Chain A
């Protein structure tokens, strides 16, 4: 069965600093990988996804993520964060052979400080 780990439940960072949010997964088959962002009292919005091909994926709002198959990781990065990036970030995995059902990680709360 697939599972997703987000090692950091909270990440505080100063404005304009770089940030990395970590995501590791376990699965016995090939997977699709996703990052979502959730602002307070809102639904989740897709940031980016990895399906195949280049392991470096660029998304919205200046975020990017790199798929590392050997380390089963899909870490999210941004070189310079803004106050408006303060939100909850969720990593999700979907197995090729399991249909559409996702498994979500527990989330990482990014707090950008002035």
Chain B
């Protein structure tokens, strides 16, 4: 079945370390997104990519980086510059046409220890 796979489900990071969250989709979707979710704050957009080799900053891009070398993959790196990285991270994708909803992955919970 087609879908979005996020890995790992749980991730622990020491302060000062970079860590990369994986997001892979086999839906042939054009656009992919990364959101951060904190309790009581809904979803906040980190980065998005509408085509391969192109991506745009979202509302809270500082301390994060992404790449889009393949249509299927959109990894997110949480760098040491991100001061408060503990959160639930969600990846989503959609077709380029209007009106299609997002398909979400099951999320990665990142905890800084």
Residues of A within 8 A of B (CB): 9, 32, 34, 36, 41-46, 49, 51, 90, 92, 94, 96, 99-102, 104-107
B41 CB contact (under 8 Å) in A42, A51, A96, A106: A106
CB contacts (< 8 Å) of A104 on chain B: these are 42-43
CB contacts (< 8 Å) of B104 on chain A: these are 36, 43-45
| Interface size bracket, B side | 20 to 34
Question: Complex: how many Å from CA A60 to CA B105?
Answer: 19
User: Min CB distance, A102 to chain B, in Å?
Assistant: 6
CB contacts (< 8 Å) of A34 on chain B: these are 101
CB contacts (< 8 Å) of B40 on chain A: these are 9, 106
Asked if A46 contacts B101 (CB within 8 A), the reply is yes
Question: Complex: how many Å from CA A51 to CA B101?
Answer: 10
A-B contact count (CB 8 A): 57
B43 CB contact (under 8 Å) in A45, A51, A90, A99: A90
The chain A residue sitting closest to B37, CB to CB, is A38
Determine whether B94 belongs to the interface, using a CB cutoff of 8 Å to chain A: yes
User: Min CB distance, B95 to chain A, in Å?
Assistant: 8
Question: Complex: how many Å from CA A101 to CA B42?
Answer: 16
CB under 8 Å from chain A, chain B span 64-113: 88, 90, 92, 94-96, 98-107, 109
Question: Complex: how many Å from CA A41 to CA B37?
Answer: 11
Determine whether B31 belongs to the interface, using a CB cutoff of 8 Å to chain A: yes
Asked if B31 contacts A100 (CB within 8 A), the reply is yes
CB contacts (< 8 Å) of A105 on chain B: these are 42
Task: Name 9 A/B residue pairs within 8 A (Cβ), A-sorted.
Answer: A32-B99, A36-B104, A41-B88, A43-B105, A43-B107, A99-B98, A100-B100, A101-B48, A105-B42
